[in-house]
Amino acid sequence: MVEAEQLPTTTPPVEQPRTSEPRKLVDIIVSQLETLRTHHRAVLETGAVEAIHKMRVTTRRLQASLDLLAREMKVRKLKRRLRNWRRKLSSVRNYDVFLELIEREAASRGRTRRQQLELVKTILQEKRLQRAAKVGRFLQAINIDTIAIGLGLSGATVEPASETMVIDEKRVAAYAAERLDQRLAEFQALAALSHPTNNPAELHQLRIAAKRVRYLLEIVQEMGFGNASRALTWLRTLQDRIGDWHDLEALEEEIIAVVSAPEFLKHHLAESSQMLNAAAHLQKKKEALVSRLFPVRIPRYVEITSHRIARALRRQSLRVAPPHNND
């Protein structure tokens, strides 16, 4: 995964100048809320794979934005609510990923392997339908506007947002700088300790740490505190590569869980053997990914970019507001 040619640590691409205007955190949050409402409606109306994925990603981005308000207001319950929504969506999204993996594998394999994978696919499609129905009922009952109301915003899009939810931008900038240093240090520590492993918990923690740095950098970049495009590209690639391994691991566990159920095994002895053969094939692919994943070397420009942006945030936090003109 993290081979030099796939995930370069030197000679990064040239940064492009920012083309969009800086936005206040409040306006970013309002925009994220509106995007979340849009994807929520799409999930309820279509149940489409892409809508589920986009709603999940939006909850994570909004959660990262709310995290920067921790010293301005109580946001813990709101973040927990977003996390709960995302976990429900993930329980459906996992099956979508499994089915996509099987589709790709079956297309490039021989007849016997395709038959094994098609059997797995049929079973997982049924489980996906059942899970989607259950999650759909849950999503019908949630109200996206509870997040807006919890922040002091009305349920509808507010213009201008900064007049409805007033926050101390300097305090937010100071906390963002502190948070960025913390997130980067956590990620660097996990990367330094990383070693070739098949331990899902260890790889998951490394991936989560990369996500936290990535989403925080995205927000402060949008707020106008510097260009982080090179660092973001590297973090996104690392996250995706570990995700490829995680998807295979999760699919392997799903197959084993299905086959291990006594009632299923009793009535599907021959099919169980085929499914376990498919799982063994996936296990070999997973091991190959691990062998190319380590060592994880964080390029120097990720640290440089993070420190540069943290300094810009601290300068903003110390800036004295100009006096009001009373003439």
Average pLDDT of span 208-217: 97
Answer whether residue 79 shows pLDDT above 60: yes
Rounded distance between C-alpha atoms, residue 160 and residue 31, angstroms: 11
Joined together, the tokens standing for residue 284 give 């070999």
In this prediction the pTM is: 0.84
pLDDT in tens, 11-56: 444 444 444 789 999 999 999 999 999 999 999 999 999 999 999 9
Burial class (CB in 10 A: 0-12, 13-18, 19+), 52: buried
**CA of 181: how far to CAs of 116, 125, 194, in Å?**
48, 43, 20
pLDDT of residue 320: 52
The alpha carbon dihedral of 145, 148, 152, 155 has a sign of: negative
Per-residue DSSP letters for 191-213?
A: HHH--S---HHHHHHHHHHHHHH
Rounded distance between C-alpha atoms, residue 93 and residue 53, angstroms: 7
Rounded distance between C-alpha atoms, residue 306 and residue 191, angstroms: 16
